Amino acid sequence: MGKVIAVAQQKGGSGKTMLTAQLAVALAAGCNVAVLDIDPQGSLTIWGKLRASAAKASVAVASHAVSGWRLASELEKLKAAYDIVLIDTPPVIDSDARRAIRAADIVIIPLNPSPPDLWAAEGTLKLAAEEKRKVALVFNRAPAASRLRKRMEAEIAARGLLLFSNALANRAGYANAFADGLGVSEISMTTPAGLELCALAEEVKNQLKINEL
């Protein structure tokens, strides 16, 4: 059965949907990958439609959308057909978000390295703890080094939370690739964006023990 990654964060502007798409493309380099959009905004679904006609798309990423009572059955079908299923969850704690987190092998929470983003993640952290799901945080739009980032790293470590060592910087390449239905790693793996995204994907695979299969 495939592994399920739920990408979740209540705070708007955290880059949740972008991260889902970018990770899907990077992971698809060696795995059969599907994305599942359960966010009512539907941005990941639009990305999937753009990708279907993108000449530069070099790997296959299947795009699906569902909500409500059909979510559990759709996830079971996708897990049977794909190595990895990434879910773009709603930016609120609702029944769909709970279903997605309950089904996840890991919950990834993107956040800018600032206190408000960590505060906004509390609901997701609480829900993941209730469902006994593994959680990992990842810094997005992160400066290479700053006092605030170091402060946030220390606070996260003090709380015993997992923070991926690879962060995504504030780079236009991510938004530009997303707008074309692409991932930065298939445009170029040697750009700073491509390198950091591929490194993050390896960390995700290690957490899911994908490399051991």
For 28-85, how does the pLDDT look when each residue is reduced to its tens digit (9 = 90+)?
A: 998 999 999 999 999 999 999 999 999 899 999 999 998 877 888 999 999 999 999 9
2.130.10.10, 3.40.228.10, 3.40.50.300, 3.65.10.10: which CATH number matches 3-206? 3.40.50.300
For 116-165, how does the pLDDT look when each residue is reduced to its tens digit (9 = 90+)?
A: 999 999 999 999 999 999 999 999 999 887 899 999 999 999 999 999 99
pLDDT computed for residue 211 by the predictor: 66
For 163-195, how does the pLDDT look when each residue is reduced to its tens digit (9 = 90+)?
A: 999 999 999 999 999 999 999 999 888 899 999
> Would you list the domain boundaries of the chain?
3-206
φ, ψ of residue 179 in degrees (nearest 5): -65, -20
Nearest to 47 by CA among 17, 71, 74: 17
pLDDT computed for residue 38 by the predictor: 94
**Distance, CA of 169 to CA of 71 (rounded, Å):** 33
- CA dihedral of 66, 84, 184, 196, whole degrees rounded to 10: 130
**Distance, CA of 124 to CA of 42 (rounded, Å):** 20
* Strand, coil or helix: 93: coil
Residues 6+ positions from 149 with CB-CB distance below 8 Å: 113, 139, 142, 143
